[in-house]
Amino acid sequence: MRIPWSRGRGLTVGVAALLVLTVTAPAASAAPATVSPAPSAVPAGPTRVLTLITGDKVTVTGEDGAPAVLSVTDTHGRSGGAHVMSVGSDTYVYPDAAIPYLASGALDGRLFNVTELIEDGYDDARADELPLIVTYTDTAARSRGAKTPEGARRTRALSSIQGAAISAEHSRAADFWASLTGTGDTAAGGRAARSATSGGRLVGGIAKVWLDG
């Protein structure tokens, strides 16, 4: 386990640029991030599918260190609204549903670094779970009322940082996200139902979620 960190200034700049984009160009933020490069532009290498904590699935191709995003789909297999950004040599995919939580600081931006996640072997073919660290609000920590979100299991307590290490199942990512944010993803509501309703604050006594690794 490694205490959460950020990969230098590039990550901060990338998130800041994303937030500026979503504020200044709301129409663009709703556009599906489905990338369809010309056949000659598709990098050689395996095609991999990666499940993000929002439940969105990112399909990439190319070598692990330089993936090219082919598509982003939601939990129903539809084209998902997301931003694809390159920061240095890393590619980030930020689903629309995650943006309010990134803006509030409740989510670690590395959770959406598909380059790093694939390099670390967390794509769906090689891993069933994603290791995370959650930190709790003062109120939840004092009352011991913080619960592990659905779709995840606690692996150890981290009292030194008022948190815990957990593993979130890829197959239950939609349940995890709904439990974490207090939002849902239904056939009727779809992506709109997954929008933040709490100003980017997580629920269940959780203050922030980090990638553990």
- Write the pLDDT tens digit of every residue in 29-72: 333 344 434 344 555 678 999 999 999 999 999 876 678 999 99
What was the pLDDT predicted at 148?
Answer: 93
Neighbours of 199 (CB within 10 A): 10
pTM, full prediction: 0.78
Would 78 be classed as within a structural domain?
yes
Q: Is the pLDDT of residue 187 over 60?
A: no
Would 43 be classed as within a structural domain?
yes
Q: Is the pLDDT of residue 91 over 60?
A: yes
Neighbours of 117 (CB within 10 A): 26
Considering 106-110, 156-160, 184-188, 190-194, the range whose residues carry the highest mean pLDDT is: 106-110
Q: Is the pLDDT of residue 164 over 70?
A: yes
Would 3 be classed as within a structural domain?
no
| Segment 187-193 mean pLDDT | 43
Neighbours of 48 (CB within 10 A): 20
Alpha helical stretches, state H, the chain: 8-24, 26-29, 99-103, 114-119, 138-143, 173-181
Would 156 be classed as within a structural domain?
yes
Q: For 195-212, how does the pLDDT look when each residue is reduced to its tens digit (9 = 90+)?
A: 455 689 999 999 999 999
In terms of residue numbers, what domain contains 184? 8-211
Of 58-62, 122-126, 151-155, 198-202, the range with the lowest mean pLDDT is 198-202
Considering 12-16, 50-54, 76-80, 84-88, the range whose residues carry the highest mean pLDDT is: 50-54
Q: How far apart are CA 37 and CA 109, in angstroms?
A: 26
Would 200 be classed as within a structural domain?
yes
User: In which band, very low, low, confident or very high, does the pLDDT at 124 lie, cut at 50, 70 and 90?
Assistant: very high
Would 2 be classed as within a structural domain?
no
Would 119 be classed as within a structural domain?
yes
| Segment 24-31 mean pLDDT | 35
Residues 6+ apart with CB under 8 A from 47: 59, 60, 61, 70
Would 105 be classed as within a structural domain?
yes
More confident residue, 89 or 26: 89
Domain count across the chain:
1
